[in-house]
Structure 1
């Protein structure tokens, strides 16, 4: 199990999400706590990097950093298109 930590920037972005994004985001949070490597590489130039991105809902994307040794996931950016 990983601890999910939300950065202040991501907290602001989450607060601005429409209500339709909230349930899919909650589901993504649960996934990130158990399987953070389920996302796609943020940078195709560094596919083994520790910064994946993950889609949620029909229009959402979250970018985060995985620290395996600390068992932490830092949510750094959330976007709803």
Structure 2
């Protein structure tokens, strides 16, 4: 199991999510504890990179990286386009 942490900016962005997005964000966060590599590579030309993106809800996306030796998922940005 991995721990999930948010960058201070990502924390502010998560706190600003609309109430309709919070459940989907929390579900994704829980899923990343078990499957941190389930996202898409940030750079398509570097599929083995540890910087990933993952969508949530109808209009959300996070950007994160995985630190394998610490079993850590570090979310750097939370975007909501809705």
TM-score, L = length of structure 1: 0.97
CA distance in 2, matches of 1:17, 1:70: 28
3-state DSSP of counterpart to 1:17? coil
Once the two structures are TM-superposed, the CA of residue 16 in structure 1 deviates from its matched residue by 1.0
The DSSP-based 3-state class of the residue aligned with 1:20 is helix
1:50 maps to: 50
CA deviation map 1:24-48 (0-9, x unaligned): 0010011111101011001112111
Aligned to 1:18: 18
Query: Stretches of 4+ moved more than 6 A in 1?
Result: none
Q: RMSD between aligned alpha carbons?
A: 0.6
Write the distance in 1 (CA, Å) between the matches of 2:32 and 2:63: 11
Q: C-alpha deviations, 1:1-56, integer Å up to 9, x for none?
A: 00101110100101111111100001001111110101100111211100110000
Unaligned runs of 5+ in 1: none
Instruction: Give SS of 2:70's match.
Output: coil
Give the number of equivalent residue pairs. 81
TM-score with structure 2 setting the length: 0.95
Within 5 Å, which residues of 2 pair with 1:50-69? 50-69=50-69
